Amino acid sequence: MNDTGHAGGLRAVFLAERPLFLRLLVARLGNVDEAEEVLQDLWLRLDTAVGGPIADPAAYLYRMANNMAIDRRRRAARRLDRDTAWSDSRPGASEHPDAERLMIARDRLAQVEAVLARLPERVATAFRLYRFEELSQKAIAERMDISVSGVEKLLQRAYLRIHARRGSSGEDDGRAGRLTHEEDRCDGR
Q: What is the dihedral of CA 32, 35, 37, 41, to 10 degrees?
A: -160
Q: Are 187 and 171 in contact (CB under 8 A)?
A: no
Average pLDDT of span 176-185:
43
Q: What distances in angstroms separate CA 18 from CA 56, 61, 189, one per listed residue?
A: 16, 10, 90
pLDDT digits (tens, 9 = 90+) for 71-101: 999 999 999 999 998 888 877 767 777 888 8
Average pLDDT of span 114-121:
91
What pLDDT, on the 0 to 100 scale, is given for residue 88?
Answer: 83
Measured in degrees and rounded to the nearest 5, phi and psi for residue 90 equal -75, 140
What pLDDT, on the 0 to 100 scale, is given for residue 150?
Answer: 94
pLDDT digits (tens, 9 = 90+) for 126-170: 999 999 899 999 999 999 999 999 999 999 999 998 888 777 765
In 10 A of CB 112, how many CB atoms? Answer: 18
Q: Are 151 and 162 in contact (CB under 8 A)?
A: no
Q: What does the alpha-carbon distance between residue 175 and residue 46 come to, in Å, rounded to a whole number?
A: 77
Specify the pTM.
0.46
Which letter does DSSP use for residue 52 in this model?
S
pLDDT band (50, 70, 90) for residue 188:
very low
What pLDDT, on the 0 to 100 scale, is given for residue 148?
Answer: 93
Average pLDDT of span 25-51:
88
User: What is the phi-psi region of residue 137: left when phi exceeds 0, alpha when psi lies from -120 to 50, beta otherwise?
Assistant: alpha
